[in-house]
């Protein structure tokens, strides 16, 4: 993996979202919709996978791959779609979306229905760690997507996913620990967790949660030949997150810049029939 290139791509995408701008492009566009537990992100890339535009909105309409507020989810996706269409000046008609590993049956359909109710045809559904692997450009190793409610793992060998798993423990559990420690509400704990000025203090409190995540990953990769672990997702944004993983698992752990945006970009790459 060319980490420098990956970081440049992700930083460029983050800037497009923040500045509500677009990059020039040629050819067809690819669209991805990431219905995350903490954020919904709509990403647009060109045929070569270069970021073109995007939009993001904090939301709690999906829990662990389950759509718990269907109407709210559709409304947010429609609003994001409208924002990006205004930026691009063209309609968005089809998209890819993603699910946590192990999501089954009706839950997969519900996620696809949200995107289609926002007037976009779903052309591909991919699991989240596999989407992340696409933008990272890796063919070997384990991709760990730390979401709001779960930790998802995909192991790749020769460019193919040979194993996937998903277990409870994510950003939500960090917030619950913080709420108990500081004796505040869950929403107040979320605010504390996201305060960049309190990252060092917060990480001391939530470190046991990160260690549990690492133990989950260690158990699932046992028996597989894994040389590198790649962590993505909003809950791994803490400075020393990957250091805890390395200490607990003993395998080199790599975290790209702005890990929250890795999976959304990867989803867009899969927007093809």
pLDDT tens-digit map of 35-65: 987 889 999 999 999 999 999 998 888 876 6
Kind plus residue range of the DSSP H or E element containing 63:
strand 62-63
- Triad 99, 63, 129: Cα angle to 5°: 30
pLDDT of residue 241: 96
- Going by the DSSP 8-state scheme, the letter that residue 198 receives in this structure is G
Residues 84 and 142 in one domain: no
Kind plus residue range of the DSSP H or E element containing 22:
none
Residues 17 and 89 in one domain: yes
For β-strands 150-157 and 141-146, DSSP reports them as antiparallel
Q: Over range 167-182, report the average pLDDT.
A: 93
Residues 49 and 87 in one domain: yes
Name residues whose C-beta falls within 8 Å of residue 242's C-beta, 6 or more positions apart in sequence. 231, 236, 253, 254, 255
Tokens 């993996």 identify what position?
A: 1
**Tally of domains within the chain:** 2
Residues 32 and 124 in one domain: yes
Q: Write out the residue range of the structural domain in which residue 226 sits.
A: 138-257
pTM: predicted TM-score of the whole model, two decimal places: 0.88
User: Which domain CATH number covers 170?
Assistant: 3.30.420.40
Nearest to 97, CA basis, from 72, 118, 82: 118
Residues 243 and 215 in one domain: yes
pLDDT of residue 39: 87
Residues 147 and 250 in one domain: yes
Distance (Å, whole) CA 261 – CA 142: 18
Higher pLDDT, 87 or 133: 87
Query: Residue 165: how many CB atoms within 10 A of its CB?
Result: 19
Nearest to 153, CA basis, from 241, 265, 212, 229: 229
Distance (Å, whole) CA 249 – CA 152: 16
């Amino acid at each position: 993996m060319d980490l420098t290139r990956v970081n440049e791509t992700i930083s460029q995408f983050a800037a497009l979202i923040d500045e509500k701008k677009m990059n020039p492009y040629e050819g067809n566009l690819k669209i991805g919709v990431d219905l995350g537990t903490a954020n919904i992100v709509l990403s647009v890339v060109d045929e070569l996978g270069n970021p073109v535009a995007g939009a993001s909105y904090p939301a709690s309409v999906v829990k662990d791959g389950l759509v718990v507020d269907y109407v709210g989810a559709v409304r947010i996706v429609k609003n994001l779609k409208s924002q990006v269409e205004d930026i691009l000046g063209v309609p968005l008609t089809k998209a890819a979306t993603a699910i946590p590993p192990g999501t089954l049956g009706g839950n997969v359909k519900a996620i696809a229905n949200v995107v289609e109710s926002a007037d976009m045809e779903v052309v591909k559904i991919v699991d989240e760690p596999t989407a992340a692997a696409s933008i990272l450009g890796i063919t070997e190793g384990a991709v760990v997507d730390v979401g709001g409610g779960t930790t998802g793992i995909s192991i790749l060998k020769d460019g193919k996913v040979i194993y996937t798993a998903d277990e409870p423990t994510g950003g939500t559990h960090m917030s619950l620990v913080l709420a108990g420690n500081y004796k505040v509400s869950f929403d107040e704990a979320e605010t504390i967790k996201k305060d960049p000025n309190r990252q060092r203090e917060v990480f001391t409190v939530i470190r046991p949660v990160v260690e549990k995540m690492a133990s989950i990953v260690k158990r699932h990769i046992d028996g597989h030949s894994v040389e590198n672990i790649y962590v993505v997702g909003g809950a791994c944004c803490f400075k020393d997150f990957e250091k805890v993983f390395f200490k607990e698992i003993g395998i080199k752990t790599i975290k790209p810049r702005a890990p929250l945006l890795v999976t959304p970009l990867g989803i867009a790459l899969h927007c093809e029939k």
